[in-house]
Chains A and B, each alone.
Chain A
Amino acid sequence: MIQEFIVGIILGGIPLSVSLLLAGLGEMFTQRSGVFNLGVEGIMMLSAFIGFFVVYTIGSPFLGIIAAMAGGALMGLLMGLVSITFKASQGISGIGLFMFGWGLSGTLFRVYVGGVTTIKGINDIYIPVLSNIPIIGPILFSQNPLVYVAYLLVPVASWLLFKTSWGLKVRAVGTTPAAADTVGVSVVKIRYQSLVIGGVMAGLAGAYLSIAQAHLFADNITAGRGFIAVALVYFGRWKPAGIMGGALLFSMAHSFQRLIQVYGINFPYEIAVIIPYILVIVVLAFTWKSQSLGPLALGKPYDREFRG
């Protein structure tokens, strides 16, 4: 019973963590470069629609994912245009991007699809033999293909950020943009690139929701997951492994609260539902000072002429 319960928590938690992890990793690059993109939620919604729509019309989940990522990239560029080129306040433009994505995805869905429609999408795979191993079989070898992609992207993101010269530029631009500028790093270019990567990852996260997890699209399908991803970037101290830890912790807490309901453990469900959020706040509060600071220039539009 206890073992079944724990396996149940992990099995329920992993699919939940994927969209948070993907969007969080993308937002990490964005924030590392000094741009605070609150519009992740909107990018996810629009991409979830684009992915769904491509699968619905053409039938290819692969093309759906590519299209969703392309849509995410465009949304990232849009955020760049507003917050880097026009130097608008990042918080406000992020909220604008969120509303734009929400409204546009909902409207397009109403006009071109209409009501509830399910798609085949991407199903979980069962790796032969290995998935029959007790406990670890179902956990490690019978997941959705995108789950493996998301977790493989953690070391990739880490390598990109800490081991490549591009990653160094991203970090430099996000910490002291003026210094990076004087040594010839284009702050604008690096920030645009980071926003596009963030958009592509949020796009993949959205596609995961509609194509792999729900197999349908509905208005507000993300239901706040994009905002949680932004919070997880702080939680993970702008590091891929930390974000993964945060995504897992949050998802497992969610899975736990669902299972205590499913198993009829006598506990008020209203409190169970907020456990994951309380947990994140508590961990945030206690880890804040002990670790490295975030990107110093986060949230500040860069202006060459302004030496403030």
Chain B
Amino acid sequence: MRKILTIMIVLLILMSSVAFAAGSKEAVDDGVIKIALVIPSTIDDMAWSQAMYNGIIAVQKEMGEDKVKVDISEMLWNAVDAGSAIMQYASEGYNLVIAHGAQYQSLLNDIAPDFPETTFAYGTGYSTDHPNIFAYDPFAQEGSYLLGMIAGMKTKSNIIGIVGPVESGDAIKFNKGFILGVKATNPEAVVRVAYTGSFGDLVAAGEIAKSQIAAGADILTGTAQQSVGAIRVAEGAGNVLWLSSDLDQSSLAPNTILVAQAYNFTKVVKEMIDSRSKGVLGGKHLPLTLENGMLQLVFNPQLDSELTAEMKAKIDTAKKQIIDGSLKIDIE
């Protein structure tokens, strides 16, 4: 029995290594761009992952489905699982492998040198250790500054709540910019920040939103996938406004979501493809800013009456000042 088992295992190993060798072909230039996307949640999470997915699909639509092939692996929060998916994609000859999360940075640093013809990308991040890695980097503080200005002008209770995930890179940038924005239009207002300690615990995010509202907040904002849980609570409360991040979430709660800071990943993906066609496979830091249009404010048309012309003018002026550099958002 044991012998048979051993033979079977050996055969299995042999077969899988043959399959792997057969699969590992170099990228062929047949005019088709093969994009692989590895994401921590799902393509319809109404947050970070969906923003990138929408961007890639928009590029595919624009360039033609016969020109761009897209493949996606979802729910790869765990870096080990993500690593094997990334390797697989690279060895199958994908041209552009996007690992959509800051946690994939060191993985790409390990994998990228073995596939010099493949372009890898990750974000949020700025360091590119190898010439075939792009690091995209949303300047969330720019958009959140504008959101903060809106919150400062709209609050009646002078209490604004942030439902945060984990106090780390992205959330800190967003929150600091937001608080500066609030102070710019309403120095009296208090911004209360509370973290769930998780990215995906929707129930906990909802509970924090409830506590924030009970403690007087009438404007709420927050980042990460979990924000959906908080939006649901804000909607239920009736008289609370939510300011979104990552992508336009207004379809979730059309009477509650006033505006979104949205990431235009279409431009990011296009820039990477363009750069590739010019022979530059990576090695660049790609900031998403208001200036380059990769960061946008998307207003919910249904709540247009909530913002007066004066408010809009103020936001516009600040936006222009951020773009021309006369307004610096210091989050250090």
Q: A residues bordering B, Cβ < 8 Å? A: 4, 8, 11-12, 15-16, 106, 110, 114-116, 118, 123, 209, 213-216, 218-221, 223, 255, 258-259, 261-264, 269-270, 273
Determine the distance from Cα of A220 to Cα of B235 in the docked complex, in whole angstroms. Answer: 23
**Interface of A: prevailing SS:** helix
Q: How many residues of B contact A (CB 8 A)?
A: 36
Evaluate contact between A223 and B201: CB separation under 8 angstroms. Answer: yes
Q: Which residues of A contact B211 (CB under 8 A)?
A: 8, 12, 255, 258-259, 262
Q: Which residue of A lies closest to B212 (CB)?
A: A262
Evaluate contact between B45 and A116: CB separation under 8 angstroms. Answer: yes
Determine the distance from Cα of A115 to Cα of B202 in the docked complex, in whole angstroms. Answer: 13
Chain A binder among B28-36, B187-195, B263-271, B309-317: B187-195
Evaluate contact between A213 and B206: CB separation under 8 angstroms. Answer: yes
Q: Which residues of A contact B232 (CB under 8 A)?
A: 118, 214-216
Evaluate contact between A11 and B194: CB separation under 8 angstroms. Answer: no
Q: B residues bordering A, Cβ < 8 Å? A: 42-46, 50, 75, 161, 167, 190, 192-195, 197-198, 200-204, 206-208, 210-212, 214-215, 225, 228-229, 232, 235-236, 252
Evaluate contact between B236 and A262: CB separation under 8 angstroms. Answer: no
Residue with the highest number of chain A CB atoms closer than 10 Å, among B45, B75, B167, B204: B204
Q: Which residues of A contact B197 (CB under 8 A)?
A: 269-270, 273
Evaluate contact between B202 and A118: CB separation under 8 angstroms. Answer: no
Q: Which residue of B lies closest to A259 (CB)?
A: B211
Evaluate contact between A116 and B46: CB separation under 8 angstroms. Answer: yes
Evaluate contact between A115 and B229: CB separation under 8 angstroms. Answer: no
B183 to chain A, nearest CB (A): 14
Q: How many A-B residue pairs have CB under 8 A?
A: 93
Q: Which residues of A contact B236 (CB under 8 A)?
A: 123, 215
Q: Could you say which of B46, B190, B210 contacts A264, with CB atoms under 8 Å apart?
A: B190
Determine the distance from Cα of A221 to Cα of B15 in the docked complex, in whole angstroms. Answer: 39
Evaluate contact between A221 and B203: CB separation under 8 angstroms. Answer: yes
Evaluate contact between B228 and A218: CB separation under 8 angstroms. Answer: yes
B256 to chain A, nearest CB (A): 11
Evaluate contact between B192 and A218: CB separation under 8 angstroms. Answer: no
Q: Which residues of A contact B194 (CB under 8 A)?
A: 258, 261-262, 269
Evaluate contact between A264 and B75: CB separation under 8 angstroms. Answer: no
Residue with the highest number of chain B CB atoms closer than 10 Å, among A106, A213, A262: A262
Evaluate contact between B207 and A258: CB separation under 8 angstroms. Answer: yes
Q: Which residue of B lies closest to A5 (CB)?
A: B215
Q: Could you say which of A114, A209, A216, A273 contacts B44, with CB atoms under 8 Å apart?
A: A114
